[in-house]
Structure 1
Amino acid sequence: MSDVLSPDAALAADIERLKAEFPKTRELYREVCALLFFRHGITPTANRLYQLVKRGSMGTPTAVLGEFWTELREKSRVRIEHPDLPTDLSAAAGELVATLWTRATASADTALDALRAEVLAQQAESQQLVIAARDELGRVETALEQRTAALLAAQVEVRELDRAQAEGHAQRRALEAELARISAALAARDRELREVREGFSRDLAKQRQAAERAEERLRASEKRALLEIDRERSTATKLHKELDEATRRADRKYADHRRVIEATQAQLGDARHQAGVLQGRLDAVRAENVRLQTEVMTLREAGQSGVPAAVRKTSRSTRSSRAVPTAKAATRRKKAV
């Protein structure tokens, strides 16, 4: 916001403009006389004119000032012309009108001075308001800089949290893909079991071989599932340690960051909830495996009359070997909880 020019500055600016428009000295002095008298309400003098213009000799502003006053009196004189009006009465009427015009001009100058004083007062008040506004703007800019710094720090913290959340999402997607693969394997085993049941009456030997192959695949799948569970538990333990470390770091920060920490804890709760849901799904898969094993045992018992003792012994050893990893998995799950 630009400051309002003072009267002296405005007068100097007007004179510089006139110097550019009127290169001749006498014309320039005449225009300056008119500027002082009519625009700024200042009675021109020879010394004042020379101080403002600073051209020619001292006789030049004196001569130009005399011509200005003569021309002004000629223009201000009122001539009343009428065919039947006497000369002395015409002159008197002209002098009366000139007097009225002079008094009206003086009254207008007085009103102009009052208006100029009011404008100057308003200008001073505006300048005080501008100074106050600038001070307030400085305080606002300082507060804005402080809040900007705090916002940048919060943005850095949010980016770190977003990166950790993205890693958690990637791990969740990997686990979901593994669960989908296990589900597909279980579906394939279901199809195989149906085929075994349909062909049991036709070829018992083929059924035994298919059952043994199915048991081997079940054992391999269970081992892979246990390995995946152990791997996921290790990952969960690592994430838990990282969470504890992040929590310790967050406790040392300012109280203003507590809302971000609470948001992180909420995200961690969601991740734990999702891990619990996935654990439930794995338990459901184990239950389905147990059910399938029960069906296999039922099929074996149905054909027990034609099944050799070696096959029954193999089935018992398979059940015992399956029960041991299940108990170990339950023990590890309790420790993890």
Structure 2
Amino acid sequence: MSDVQPDEARLVTEINRLKAAFPKTRDLYREACALLFFRFGITPTANRLYQLVKRGSMSTPTQVLGEFWTELREKSRVRIEHPDLPADLQAAAGELVATLWTRSTASAQEALDALRAEVEVERAAAQNAVTSMQGELARTETALEQRTAALLAAQVRIQELEQAQVAAEATLRALDAEIGRQQKEIGARDRALVQARADFSGELEKLRAGADLAEERLRAAEKRALLEIERERIASARLQKDLDVAVRRAEQGDTRHRHEIQALQTQLGDVRHHAGVLEGNLEALRSSNAIYASELDAVRRQLATAAANQSAAQKRPRPSVEPRKPSRAAPKVPTRKRSA
């Protein structure tokens, strides 16, 4: 048997499976020997078995390994029992068959090792392919995530554009309705303008006729006005003379009024001085009234305190013999002479 090192991870996995299937320690060691020798092509040793199983003491794998080799030798020995053959020939024939079986087993083992090597190469290639595919899958997933994010952003943008389109369509419908209304109003205004032009033409003709008539009347009125202006000029000259006389009288009255105003201003200064004196007295009276009001508030608070104390004293329980209490004098109300 060749000591080919197997994949440790696969070996540990198989040992864990045997631990779950064989709870007894000796059975577990025996199955581990068979696994190493027949499945992985490893010659089992006591140390190797104990490192893998890690159960019991070191004597247990040693005993189980001895039993395994004994059983394997017994099973590999071929016994040929025939009544016609001598004993030494039977033994030689058995040894020959055992040798043939050993060689065939070695050949099968070599073929198995070659196959295992090929499988290992294929497994490594498959592992590399899996690694490459995983990298490609990671890149694909990254690209997919980016495309998904872009798709979500595009969907959000599409929703925004759809909402904007709906709002624009509503605005367009409102504008169409407004344009229709404006067109109706413009049509009505055009009709009203045509009617107004027609009415204006008629009124203009009437105004022209009226203007001609008014012009004739104006010329007649101008003649009358000229006559009236002449009469007014004569009357104005007469009134100008009267105005000059009135101005002289007004100047004389103005001088007299100025003297009277000066006298009144002197009297007004005296009255203002007297009013200032009276305002000073009034301010002094207001200050005195404020002082009196503050003193009155203090007296009221003292009276309220005294009344509260007296009420509290009346509510207290009286003993059988009341001691004579000194009479409490009423609080004196401070008085202040009023300043003149």
TM-score by length of 2: 0.49
- Structure ranking higher on relative contact order (CA contacts 8 Å, 6+ apart): 1
Higher Rg of the two aligned structures:
2
